[in-house]
Structure formats: C-alpha cells, structure tokens
Structure 1
C-alpha cells in the first residue's frame, strides 16, 4: 500500500473514516472530537487504542470516540506515574553502585572508568556526549571530560549505559546483588524508554503481538512473590513491569514506596473511572487487577 492509498485527510474526513469503521460519536460529539484532535491529541495516537475493541465485519463493536479519548487520558496518567517510578529507581541505582565502589578498597574511582571505556567504548562515549551536549553540565564537562572519575561518569549516565556499567562491574567482582539488579534492569529499561518517549502502554494487552513464549525465570519467580501467575508474565508489558517494581522494592526506601503506593491508588481510580465503557474488555480489567498487585507488593508486610 503506497502513499496514494493513504492520503492526508482533514479532521472531518478522519471523523468520517472512523464512522465508516463503526466508531460512534454519541458521548462525544463530532464537533468536540474535531476540537480534541486539533488541540489536545493527534489522530494516530488517539485511535491506536481502538485495537483494544472487538470488530465484526471490519467494524468496531461498542466503540464510541469518547472511549478512545478516555484511554488516551488514562494512558498519559499511567505513564506519568511510571516515569516517577523509573526516575526514582534510576537515582537509587546510581546511589547503590557508587556506594559499592566507595566501599571497595581495590577501586580508586578512575581505573574502573578506563576498563569500562575499553570494554564498552560506545556506552562510554554516549555518556560523554550527553555530558558535552547538556548546557547545564557544561562546567562539569570542561573540568572532567579528559579523565572523569566514576562518580562523575555515573552522575550523568543515561539509563542504557548505566545498565551496561552495573552489569560490567557486577561480573567483574562476581557481585551477587548487582547480578540480580542487572537481570531486572534490562527489562525495566523497556518501561523507562516507553514512558520517556510517550509510547502508548494500554494497548495490545495480553495479545499475540506482545506474547513472550519463554519469560525470564527470575521474573517469573518475582511475579509469584507478587501473586501474579506465571502465564500472565508471558505478556511483555507485565513481564517488564514486574522487573521495574521488583527493583523499586529492592532499592527504594519504605517511606518513598509509601508515596508510590498512594500515588498508584490514584492511578487505579483513574483506570476505574468509567467501568461502563469497558465492561467487555477482559484484558483491560486483567491489567487493572495485576497493577493492583504490583502496588500491593510495594507495601511492607
């Protein structure tokens, strides 16, 4: 299918196209839908959530445009919450790895940087480039770019290079705790990247598109501690969320996790605001149930 088969459409033409696909405008009028698409969200992202709804003869069943708008709002709310979680985990990881290095008499803070640079030159250069291109860190770059100590490098490391460094250091010293962290970081990073780039999360839930035939056994074990069955961990997003929330419980203080739990309850309330919209969407209701378990796991028993 070429460009000529997908021409640019006006908002009214897009609305007509949705109507042809069975999407109704009973709750939200066509006029309000046009205003929404022109000022609050764009067509491609808003309509991506239609994949959650069943179709018959190429037409969606029981799908009003208001449901897509609501999904968009719920997803944005969920991403903001998970963004806070990932930022907290990232900070805690940096504190933990620097503390481990600080207490290692074999490390001077510089040799490990030289070794990492040799082993992972791309990750090292990515970190330096990030430091050089960040106008708020220019002074730090000017002072340290020739021979950065590990506490300077870790301070500005993006999540990807940080994951590689922790893996590198953990295996260098056969550090059991860091190896456990690494097993989870590579999957938690998927959630971090998704929320950082505003990728929709509430679609394709428990579908073949995101099915993992052989989920990581460590993640399956951690899910069981959260009362999440192993068959549900075969969903890619659930798999990665388990990894993220495991790290959060492992690294974040009890007080901070209490705030995470309370903020998460507000997310649950938003997901549950219009139950009448989604009575027939079993995967979405399953996701809410699992998200509740992820939140409960944050509390100390």
Structure 2
C-alpha cells in the first residue's frame, strides 16, 4: 500500500503538530516556525514524539499527553550530543581492537601477516569478489588509494584492516578469532557487532533517542555485559536491556572500558559522558514523562558503573 502525504509549509507543519496535541506554551508558534526554517526539519524533529504517550480515549483521543514543542527541540539537541559521543567512542573501540589484533599477530611466529589474509579471502568463497571489488573502488581514494595500488591485491593484515569497511574488518576479526581459537577476541567480535550498528546510525546522522523507550531488542545482551551490571537489580536490567537501542548503548559503554587500553582516552570519554548527563536534565527533568525519565536514569546508573 502506497502512502502519500501532502507537502506542508512550515506554518502548516506547526498547525499539524498542534492538531496532534503538541502544545506551544514553552516554545511559541512563531519561534517554532523559525526553528523549523533554520535549525531542524519537521520529519526528524517530530520523530522524538514516539517517546510520548497519547490519550487513549475521550475528547483528546489520539493526541499527545504533556508534549510541548520545546521538549522535541530539547531531545533533538541531546540526541545530537549523544550521536557525537557514540561515534567517537566507536572509533576508539575500532582503533584499539586493531591494536589488539595486530599485537596478537606480531607475537605469533607461525603468522607472516600475508597467509592469514589469503586464507581469509579463500574462506569468503563467492563473496571474495564482492570484497575485492569494494577495495578496488577505493583505489583512487586520497586516503587509502596509495596502499591499494602499492600492494595490488597482496595485502598483509596490517594494511587490509586499513582499507576495508568496518563490517568487512569485523569479518576478518572473527576469522582470526576462530583461526587462533581465541575466546577473548571472539567476545570482542560480538561486542563490536552491536557497536557497528550503533556506530553506523550515528555516522549517518540517524536519530538515537527518537524511539528509545519502545523499540524491542532483536538480540540477547552479551553475557559479560550482564555480569558487569550485577549491581543493578536484575528486573531493571531485563526491562531496559530488552530495548534495542538501550542494549546497544550499554554494550558500547562496556566495550569501551573493556577494549580501550589508554587511560587518557577513557578520561576523555568520562568527561564527555559527564557533560551528557548534565545536559540531559539541564532544562527539564522529564518528570512529565516518567517512562523517558526512567530510561535516562537507567543510563545514568550504567554510566556510573563504567565511568
């Protein structure tokens, strides 16, 4: 079924929001129009409304409860900060995972760095051509093109991990973990699978908090992550880790303290998370939305455990 929605002017967008029960008491309509023209667009901003409940019946049936335009703006700003922090942490995790992998390779006298890549390529079967094509598409890149041209398909491990995507890097990481029967690397791989999805969302500027209270998890929480949260009541962990985005954020934070070896980088992350915590409740305590507030409080407790 095709859904067709009429294009709306900014004035019409504000009217549509008002019809849905969104108020403009804190953020007046004129200011809201200016915001939609200069700061954020309707589709993205209004996605945060999913965290608010609607009247189940009565004259206001289907309209939002206690939702002011200002709260959507606030969540959009918080979400922007969160995406930046997520992306930076994910990049740090990727870097230190590469460091760990290469150290393991360097300390193995049976590995020359080339044969493991060749065996990995063979293990891909028909997908080998797909990966080789993706690599060759970067041959003219200002950043990795010289590496690709220099090695001309005969890549050692330390160059392969620089020229492939994060997804392909994780496939190679899993191959190495299995090849060496290394449970530690294998656990890192499963942590980074969650990191990858969250990282990609942040890198593509997708909203994180737009449905954070409702989206059910598709996967189980990593066992090591669960163990690390034992100071929080099990029922509370079960409740919030059952939400896909919460589980991924928690996994990202756990992976950062488990995989990053630099104390300086961890101090940087600690400062970023401290700023985020202060920013979330800076303007509103979200007591008017207990479900959202409880979700934020849970994340605060997780941050306090790790950092």
* TM-score (structure 1 length as normaliser): 0.90
Structure 1 residue 213: Cα displacement: 7.6
TM-score, normalised via structure 2 length:
0.88
Do structure 1's residue 221 and structure 2's residue 220 form an aligned pair? no
From 78, 82, 89, give the equivalent of 2:86.
82
Q: Residue 134 in 1 paired to residue 141 in 2? A: yes
Question: Distance in 1 between the 2:216 and 2:271 partners?
Answer: 29
Return 68-77 or 197-206, whichever deviates more.
Answer: 197-206
- Kept in 1, the 8 Å contact 2:45–2:73? The answer is yes
User: 2: CA distance between counterparts of 1:145 and 1:138?
Assistant: 10
Q: Which residue of 2 aligns with 1:49?
A: 48
Corresponding residue for 2:11?
12
Of 119, 143, 146, the match for 2:150? 143
Q: CA deviation at 1:125?
A: 2.7
Secondary structure (helix, strand or coil) at the match of 2:27 reads coil
**What's the RMSD between the two structures over aligned residues?**
2.2
> Post-superposition, which runs of at least 4 consecutive aligned residues in structure 1 deviate over 3 A?
211-219, 225-228
The farther-off stretch of 148-157 and 263-272 is 148-157
Could you say which structure has the greater relative contact order, defined with CA pairs below 8 angstroms and 6 or more residues apart? 2
Q: Which runs of 5+ in 1 are unaligned?
A: none
The answer for the alignment partner of 2:173 in structure 1 is 166
2:254 pairs with one of 233, 246, 254? 246
When residues 289 and 40 of structure 1 are mapped into structure 2, their CA distance, relative to the original with a 3 A threshold, is same
Looking at structure 2, the residues matched to 66 and 147 of structure 1 have their Cα atoms a distance apart, in angstroms, of 56
Unaligned runs of 5+ in 2: 56-60
| Corresponding residue SS for 2:40 | coil
1:196 Cα shift?
0.8
| Cα offsets for 1:5-46 (capped at 9, x unmatched) | 411111111111111111122222222212211221111000
Query: C-alpha distance in 1, partners of 2:112/2:283?
Result: 57
Does 2:190 correspond to 1:198? Answer: no
Residues in 1 aligned to 2:111 and 2:247: alpha-carbon distance in whole angstroms: 35
Residues 67 and 231 (structure 1), Cα distance of their counterparts in 2 relative to 1, 3 Å cut: closer
Number of positions where the alignment pairs a residue of Structure 1 with one of Structure 2: 296
Checking the alignment, whether the CA contact within 8 Å between 2:139 and 2:146 is kept in structure 1 is no
Q: From the two aligned structures, give the one with the greater helix fraction.
A: 1
The CA deviation string for residues 146-184 of structure 1, in whole angstroms up to 9 with x for no partner, is 311111111233221111111111011101210111121
Q: Distance in 1 between matches of 2:103 and 2:26?
A: 55
